[in-house]
Amino acid sequence: MQLPGVRLHVAQAGSGPPVVLLHGWPQHWYCWRHLIGPLAERYTVIAPDLRGWGWSEAPPGDYAKSTFASDVLALLDHEGLDRVRLIGHDWGGYTAFLLALGHPERIERMVALDIVPPWRETLRLRHALIPVFLIYQVLVASPLGPRLMERSPRFVREIIRLASGTRLRWSLEELDVYADVLRDPARARASSACYRTFLTREAAAGTYRRGQLQVPTLLLMGQVSALRRIFDPRPSGPLRVESVPAAGHFLPEEASSEVLARALAFLEGA
This prediction's pTM: 0.97
Residue 79 lies in a domain: yes
Give the separation between CA 102 and CA 100, rounded to whole angstroms.
6
Diameter over CA atoms, the chain = 47
Structure confidence at residue 50 (pLDDT): 98
Sign of CA pseudo-dihedral 252, 258, 261, 267: negative
Give the separation between CA 270 and CA 263, rounded to whole angstroms.
10
Q: Are 24 and 92 in contact (CB under 8 A)?
A: yes
Structure confidence at residue 205 (pLDDT): 74
Residue 146 lies in a domain: no
Residue 145 lies in a domain: no
Residue 234 lies in a domain: yes
Give the separation between CA 46 and CA 40, rounded to whole angstroms.
9
Structure confidence at residue 263 (pLDDT): 98
Structure confidence at residue 210 (pLDDT): 82
Provide the CATH number for the domain around residue 218: 3.40.50.1820
Structure confidence at residue 115 (pLDDT): 97
Residue 183 lies in a domain: no
Residue 25 lies in a domain: yes
Cα 227–chain centre separation: 13
Structure confidence at residue 270 (pLDDT): 60
Helix (H) or strand (E) holding 87: strand 84-89
Q: What is the pLDDT along the chain (270 residues), one digit of tens a residue?
A: 998 889 999 999 999 999 999 999 999 999 999 999 999 999 999 999 999 999 999 999 999 999 999 999 999 999 999 999 999 999 999 999 999 999 999 999 999 999 999 997 776 767 777 887 889 999 999 999 999 999 999 999 999 999 999 999 999 999 999 999 999 999 999 999 999 999 999 987 777 888 899 999 999 999 999 999 999 999 999 999 999 999 999 999 999 999 999 999 999 986
- What range does the domain containing 258 cover? 2-124+206-267
Give the separation between CA 152 and CA 183, rounded to whole angstroms.
7
Domain tally for the chain?
A: 1
